Amino acid sequence: MIEFRMPSLGADMEDGTLVEWLVKPGAAVKRGDIIAQVDTQKGLIDIEIFEEGVVKELLVGEGEKVPVGKTLAVLDSTEHRVGIKASPLAKRMAAEKDIDLALVTGTGEGGAITKEDVEKAAAAVISAKIEKTAQVDEKKEATELLETSSARHNIRQAIASAMSKSNREIPHYYLETKIDLTRSLAWLTETNRERTVKNRLLPVVLLIRAVALALKKVPELNAWYENGLVKKEEINIGFVVSLRGGGVMIPAIRDAGGKSLDELMTALNDMIPRARAMKLRSSELVNTTITITSLGEGQVELVYGVIYPPQVALVGFGAILEQPWAENGMLNVRKTVSVTLAADHRATDGMTGSRFLTELNSLLQTPGSL
């Protein structure tokens, strides 16, 4: 069963008036069909549906004004791996080789998956298995090799689908604050001065460590939303790594709460190059409990992230910039970072987020304790 809700057509939209239904109960709809017209502050908007199904019941009458998120109609789902286009031979081979066609990129006519695509995927699975065997003693965890250009394409698709789902399903709320990093950066400069280049720390490690510690105080944000809030014991922080060719990988730093600054830096040194080479382990891609995105360099101050479902929060750090800073009646120039929290309003409320950001700020003012 699919609930079709009043969509949010912009952060400022609170409600909309359903002007006209373009479908009736019993109608079969597919992704991209326009099923209703809604009057908003931005004018009359055609509303698309993003799932496939049969309209079961229309819950809101024409002319009714309803808030964003209100269920407008219910549909019976008919979606069974819709959209996978594969040749009969490719399907047969995939079944024989136990390959999930959803993970294969088609290169045939109209993007259809062909025999060759399945063979490539099968080869990738074999090399992944070899990799896995090789690592079994070293790491007792399932490993999976993401490879080839089709992986890059899959990543794009995965991002598209996860982000669409997120925007569709998660009512995000955003909080932001500006944090003075003077103390943290001074501490970092001091500590790095004594370190050789191999052991040097990047500012982002302080941020990650502070997030992990803040989450221990505000565990509601280290959670999944699955029919309600499910708090997670281990803090597995997904760290957004941009790929040079476009796309992102979000490997998780396992048990970030239990790792020191040095261990976090080691984890990044290990993970980031592998993420860029798209050679992550499956365990680094699942079980993530919260995501951090850091814009790093550049001049962009703020990032409003899209939560990666089923997580309930995403912490975004803007660039570290010099800003005018008023404190104790004095105006000064400080190195600051703007932090944004995107959180799932089904799971938590602004107060939770506010406690988190406050805690984060206070941790970053006492870098010695990190």
Partner 1 sequence: MKEEEIRQLVCQLLKQVAPDSEPEKLAEDDIIRDVLGIDSFDALQFLMALDERTGVDIPEEDYGKISTLAKVVEYVGRKIIRFPEDHHPCRF
Partner 2 sequence: MANENNTISITYREAIKQALRDALRADERVFLMGEDVGRYGGAFAVSKGLLEEFGPDRIMDTPLSESGFVGAGIGAAIAGMRPVVEVMTVNFSLLAMDQIVNNAATLLHMSGGQVNVPVVIRMNSGLGRQLAAQHSHSWESFYAHIPGLKVLSAGTHEDARGMLLAALKEPDPVVIFEYTAMLNLEGKIPAGAGIVEIQKAAIRREGKDISIITYGPGVYKSLEAANELAKLGIDAEVVDLRVLRPLDESCFLQSVRKTHRALVVEEAWRSVSISAEISSRIMEQAFYELDAPVHRLCGVEVPMPYPKHLEDISVPQAGDIVNMIKKILQHD
- Binding positions for partner 2, rule: CB under 8 A: 87-92, 107-109, 112, 114-116
C-alpha distances (whole Å) from 212 to each of 25, 173, 250, 269 are 49, 21, 16, 18
Tokens 């982002």 belong to 204
Least spacing, CB of residue 86 vs partner 2, in Å: 9
Least spacing, CB of residue 278 vs partner 1, in Å: 12
Binds partner 1 by CB under 8 A, chosen from 273, 300, 366, 369: 273
Kindly state whether residue 112 participates in binding partner 1, applying the rule CB under 8 A: no
No. of helices (H) and no. of strands (E), the chain: 7, 19
Least spacing, CB of residue 116 vs partner 2, in Å: 8
Tell me the backbone φ, ψ of residue 16, rounded to 5 degrees. Answer: -150, 155
* Strand pairing category for 290-294 and 237-239: parallel
Least spacing, CB of residue 214 vs partner 1, in Å: 22
| 219 closest CA partner among 267, 262, 184, 257 | 257
Kindly state whether residue 245 participates in binding partner 1, applying the rule CB under 8 A: yes
- Compare residues 115 and 232 and give the one whose CB is closer to partner 2: 115
DSSP string, 73-119: EEEEE--SSTT--B-HHHHHHHHHHT--GGG----SGGG-B-HHHHH
Kindly state whether residue 149 participates in binding partner 1, applying the rule CB under 8 A: no
Please, what is the end-to-end C-alpha distance for the chain in angstroms? 47
Residue 273 binding: pick among partner 1, partner 2, none (C-beta 5-8 Å cut-off by kind): partner 1
- Compare residues 92 and 97 and give the one whose CB is closer to partner 2: 92
- Compare residues 17 and 266 and give the one whose CB is closer to partner 1: 266
Residues from 185 through 224 that contact partner 1 (CB under 8 A): 189, 192-193, 196-198, 200, 202-204
Kindly state whether residue 244 participates in binding partner 1, applying the rule CB under 8 A: yes
C-alpha distances (whole Å) from 330 to each of 185, 260, 325, 337, 340 are 21, 35, 8, 19, 26
* Contact in structure between 11 and 18 (CB atoms under 8 Å): no
* Contact in structure between 318 and 303 (CB atoms under 8 Å): yes
Least spacing, CB of residue 253 vs partner 1, in Å: 14
Residue 297 binding: pick among partner 2, partner 1, none (C-beta 5-8 Å cut-off by kind): partner 1
- Compare residues 268 and 360 and give the one whose CB is closer to partner 1: 268
Please give the size of the binding site for partner 1, defined by CB under 8 A: 18
* Contact in structure between 237 and 292 (CB atoms under 8 Å): yes
Residue 65 binding: pick among partner 1, partner 2, none (C-beta 5-8 Å cut-off by kind): none
Kindly state whether residue 322 participates in binding partner 1, applying the rule CB under 8 A: no
Binds partner 1 by CB under 8 A, chosen from 9, 68, 248, 272: 272
- Compare residues 107 and 283 and give the one whose CB is closer to partner 2: 107
| 203 closest CA partner among 76, 93, 336, 91 | 336
- Compare residues 26 and 298 and give the one whose CB is closer to partner 1: 298
Phi-psi region of 329 (alpha: psi -120 to 50; beta: other; left: phi over 0): left
Amino acid letter for position 125: V
Least spacing, CB of residue 245 vs partner 2, in Å: 20
Per CB under 8 A, the segment of 119-127, 269-277, 300-308, 361-369 that binds partner 1 is 269-277
- Strand segments (E) across 22-67: 28-29, 34-40, 43-48, 53-58, 65-67
Residues that bind partner 1 (CB under 8 A): 189, 192-193, 196-198, 200, 202-204, 244-245, 268-269, 272-273, 296-297
